[in-house]
Amino acid sequence: MVKVVVESDGCDVRFSKIAPFSLKDTLMCGQAFRWKSTSNDLCAYTGVVKGKVLKVRQEDDCLILEGPVDEDTVRMTLDYFALDVDLGEIENKLREIDPAVGTAIDFAPGIRLLRQDPWEAMVTFIISARNSMPLIRRSVELLAEKHGVPISERRQGDSCDVHFSFPSPKMLAEAAVEELLECRTGFKAPYIREAAERIAFGGFDLYGVGDLEYEEAKSKLMEFKGVGSKVADCILLFAFGFYQAFPIDVWVTRIMRYLYFDSKKVPLRVISEFAHEKFGDLAGYAQQYLFYYARNKLGPEIRGLE
């Protein structure tokens, strides 16, 4: 745990003592899909978190939340970005565990694992199956526009931007599968509908999953159609803060084989066991740095490894 310094100038709120921190990499690394860059020069983004429009930017090692905002929004922002987590210590421990992960961290340090809304994360990562990041982004945004609640954002002058909350389980349970298909969710549309129904009306306590042990929580999530091992780990890691989760997608498979298995074909189960053994409770952070490094640095060099 670290002591974050929170200051306000009467309007904007400044979070400091949070280094290492990269707002851009944190928001664009593929864990969240509703943030949009709002400036070509500044590192500034607008997003919708738990029904609220947040405008944030990075100045030096500080996170600035554009105000005026109430205390509840400040607390929510602190929690969403997990600013209480000592990321510097985590990065150092991972460097000690393996210099190869250190190389990945050096490429893009300061990636914070967010604490997103579990339902939004669940839908997002069901959609992510056999899909690309730009298309996932588009589907999630379409779901919000067509089924969420509009949130007006007053701006200077008369202009008014409209954003949309992410639709609740009840909202999506009441949508027709055809309407979900219109959001480009493809063959995942019925999965989303079924999950929404079960959570809205079927008595499944999604938020209670966070109180379970990791293995049991993962099993509960995998009861849903469209939620396999990888998607379950994404939900556990990016929403519930189970840092031992190690989602294995194509890129993680490639870099793990490249780094640890002599580029040979290995069952996913073996990679998973290896990662849990090697990284323990920091597996999730290791995964995110490795994923980002694999996609954005190694790229073509390891593309053939699957």
Partner DNA sequence: TGCCAGGCCTTCC
Partner DNA sequence: GGAAGGCATGGC
Site of interaction with DNA (CB under 7 A) = 29-31, 128-136, 181, 184, 186-187, 224-232, 234, 247, 249-252, 267, 269, 287-288, 291, 295, 303
Question: Would you say 62 or 266 has its CB closer to DNA?
Answer: 266
From the CB of 49, what's the least distance to DNA, in Å? 17
Question: Would you say 28 or 64 has its CB closer to DNA?
Answer: 28
From the CB of 132, what's the least distance to DNA, in Å? 4
From the CB of 229, what's the least distance to DNA, in Å? 5
From the CB of 188, what's the least distance to DNA, in Å? 8
**Cis link prior to 20 (omega < 30° from 0)?**
yes
Q: What does the alpha-carbon distance between residue 11 and residue 68 come to, in Å, rounded to a whole number?
A: 5
Question: Would you say 149 or 176 has its CB closer to DNA?
Answer: 176
Question: Would you say 69 or 104 has its CB closer to DNA?
Answer: 104
Q: What does the alpha-carbon distance between residue 152 and residue 161 come to, in Å, rounded to a whole number?
A: 6
Question: Would you say 58 or 185 has its CB closer to DNA?
Answer: 185
Q: How far is CA 14 from the centre of its chain?
A: 23
From the CB of 296, what's the least distance to DNA, in Å? 10
Alpha-carbon radius of gyration of the chain: 19
From the CB of 139, what's the least distance to DNA, in Å? 8
From the CB of 130, what's the least distance to DNA, in Å? 4
Question: Would you say 67 or 228 has its CB closer to DNA?
Answer: 228
Question: Would you say 69 or 113 has its CB closer to DNA?
Answer: 113
- With 0-12 CB in 10 A as exposed, 13-18 as middle and 19+ as buried, what is 60? exposed
Nearest-CA neighbor of 111 among 148, 149, 75, 82? 82
